[in-house]
Amino acid sequence: MNSLSVDFFLGANSEHGFFSHFDQLQDPYSDFQTFIIKAGPGTGKSTMMKKLARRYADRERLVERVHCSSDPDSLDGVILHDNRIQIVDGTPPHVMEPRFAAAGETILSFYPAFCEKELRKHRLEIAQTSSVISGFHRRFCELLRCANLLLDSNAALIRKSLNQPKLERAVQGILKRELSHKKKQEGMGLAKTRLVSAFTPKGLITYQDTINTLCGKVYLLDDEYRICSHLFLTIVRDAVLKAGYDCYVCYSPFHPDTQIDQVLIPDLGLGFVTRSRFLPLEQVHANKVIHATRFFDREILRQKKQRLSFCRKTAAAILEEALEALAQAKAAHDVLEEFYAPNVDFSVVDQITEEFFNRLEA
C-alpha cells in the first residue's frame, strides 16, 4: 500500500480574527466519525494526535495532519482516510460542539486529568494571560488589514486591464488537455477546503511538500499581484468537480475566506498553484509555469512601477510587525500553558489515549 502523509491548516489568523474551516468536519452526510477533544492548553491534545498520526502513517493510504496556525509545531487535527476517522481539537479559537451527538461526533475529554482545585487558584492569572494573548491577536489583525489594503490596491490598479476572455481561453485549453476523457464518476466531486499556507509565529509557512506529495504534475501560476489566480482556479475547481473528481481547494493566507490559492486533485496527481513574492514556492516541482502578465497590459506595470513598489515594500514591513505580534501571542500562550501543565495528571492522559487507540482498533 502506498502510504502518504500530508500537512494542512484548517484555520488561519486573518484580518478579521481567526477564520475557521473546521465546520466542514461536521458534515452530516459524511461517513467519517469525528472525535472532538476537550482540554486546556498544554494538556496533551497535540501530543495525542501526533501519536495517532505516527501510529497510522504506514497503515493508511492518506493521513492528514492539521496544524495549528498559532503554533505550527502543534496539531489541531488528524484525518485518517481509510478508517474514516477525524480527531480534532475543539477548544478556542476553533470551538466545536457535537451537532449530532454520538451519531456524528463524540467528545473525548481530558478533564478527568485536571487538578481543578489547583487550577482554580490561578483563575485570575489565566484570565489575565488570555486577555494579553487576545490583545496581540487583535494587533495582528489590524496590521494585516493595513497590509492587505496596500496589496489589494495594487491588484485593483492592474485588474482594470485584465483580458478576462484570454485568461478563460487559456484555462479551458489546459483543462481540455488534462480532463478530456477523464470522467471519473457520475455526479459531482467533493471540494475539501484547506489551507497550505498560514501566518504563524514562525512566519508565513507553506507546506510545499504537501503539493509535491499529492501532485506529480503541477501548473504554477506566477501571479505577483493576485489578479488572475482566483478566477483561474475557480474555473479549474468547477471543471474538476463537474468531472467527478474530489479536490482540495486551498485558500490564501491573506484572504482565507474568499481567495483561492491552490487546487489539488490527488486522484489525477494534478495541482494548480499560485506563486507570488510573498509565496515563492521555491520547493514546489512545477512542470509548467504560467505568467499572469500575459493576461493584462504590461504598460501599467511600467507606468505605475514606483507606486506598486512602494505599496508592496510598505506591506512587507507591516507584515513583519504583524508576525511579531503573533510571536508575542505565542510567548504569552506558553505562559498560559505553565499554569495548566503542573496541574494535569499525564498518566490519566496516557490512559485516555491508550483507551482511545484500543477503541479505534477494536
Please enumerate in sequence order all residues whose Cβ is within 8 A of that of 169, keeping only pairs 6 or more positions apart, or say none. none
Mean pLDDT of 72-76: 97
Mean pLDDT of 55-61: 94
Write down the pTM of the prediction: 0.95
Return the closest-CA partner of residue 13 out of 322, 314, 335, 334.
Answer: 322
Residues 91 and 169 in one domain: no
Q: Which domain holds residue 68?
A: 4-114+345-361
* pLDDT single digits (tens) 182-236: 666 678 899 999 999 999 999 999 999 999 999 999 999 999 999 999 999 999 9
Mean pLDDT of 115-135: 96
- Is 266 domain-assigned? yes
Q: How far is it, in rounded angstroms, from Cα 46 to Cα 97?
A: 18
- Is 144 domain-assigned? no
* β partners of residue 271: 218, 264
pLDDT at 362: 76
Q: What percent of the chain has pLDDT over 90?
A: 88
User: Is pLDDT at 251 greater than 80 in this prediction?
Assistant: yes
- Is 220 domain-assigned? yes
Mean pLDDT of 257-281: 96
pLDDT at 1: 66
pLDDT at 2: 80
Residues 79 and 183 in one domain: no
Residues 206 and 285 in one domain: yes
Residues 169 and 285 in one domain: yes
Residues 175 and 96 in one domain: no
Please state which of the ranges 53-57, 156-160, 235-239, 305-309 shows the lowest mean pLDDT.
156-160
pLDDT at 14: 95
Return mean pLDDT, the chain: 94
Q: How far is it, in rounded angstroms, from Cα 118 to Cα 110?
A: 16
Q: How far is it, in rounded angstroms, from Cα 13 to Cα 67?
A: 13
Residues 351 and 292 in one domain: no
> What is the band of 16 on the pLDDT scale with cuts at 50, 70, 90?
very high
Residues 178 and 283 in one domain: yes
- Is 209 domain-assigned? yes
Q: What is the CA radius of gyration of the chain?
A: 22
DSSP 298-357: HHHHHHTHHHHHHHHHHHHHHHHHHHHHHHHHHHHHHHHHHHHGGGB-HHHHHHHHHHHH
93 preceded by cis ω (within 30°)?
yes
Mean pLDDT of 148-173: 94
> What is the band of 248 on the pLDDT scale with cuts at 50, 70, 90?
very high
Return the closest-CA partner of residue 318 out of 148, 76, 95.
Answer: 148
pLDDT at 259: 96
Question: Phi and psi for 344 in degrees, rounded to 5?
Answer: -125, 135
Q: How far is it, in rounded angstroms, from Cα 112 to Cα 132?
A: 28
The number of residues in the chain equals 362
Residues 76 and 184 in one domain: no
Residue type, 76: D
- Is 255 domain-assigned? yes
Residues 177 and 287 in one domain: yes
Please enumerate in sequence order all residues whose Cβ is within 8 A of that of 257, keeping only pairs 6 or more positions apart, or say none. 14, 16, 19, 251
pLDDT at 181: 67
> What is the band of 28 on the pLDDT scale with cuts at 50, 70, 90?
confident
Higher pLDDT, 29 or 348: 348
Mean pLDDT of 23-51: 93
Residues 184 and 59 in one domain: no
Cα 203–chain centre separation: 14
Instruction: Choose the final residue of a domain: 255, 277, 296.
Output: 296
CB contact at 8 A, 35 and 85: yes
- Is 323 domain-assigned? no
Long-range contacts of 73-76 (CB under 8 A, 24+ apart): 74/45, 74/46, 75/45, 75/46, 75/49, 75/50, 76/10, 76/11, 76/22, 76/46, 76/49
Please enumerate in sequence order all residues whose Cβ is within 8 A of that of 264, keeping only pairs 6 or more positions apart, or say none. 210, 211, 214, 215, 247, 248, 250, 270, 271, 272, 273
* Eight-state DSSP code of residue 190: -
- Is 222 domain-assigned? yes
**362: its cell numbers:** 477494536
- Is 34 domain-assigned? yes
**343: its cell numbers:** 496541574
Instruction: Choose the final residue of a domain: 296, 311, 331.
Output: 296
**Start-end of H helices in the chain:** 45-55, 116-120, 123-159, 164-179, 208-214, 229-242, 298-303, 305-340, 346-361
Residues 349 and 281 in one domain: no
pLDDT at 185: 62
> What is the band of 102 on the pLDDT scale with cuts at 50, 70, 90?
confident
> What is the band of 151 on the pLDDT scale with cuts at 50, 70, 90?
very high
pLDDT at 121: 95
pLDDT at 183: 64
Instruction: Choose the final residue of a domain: 275, 296, 317.
Output: 296
Domain count of the fold of the chain: 2
Sign of CA dihedral 93, 327, 65, 356: negative
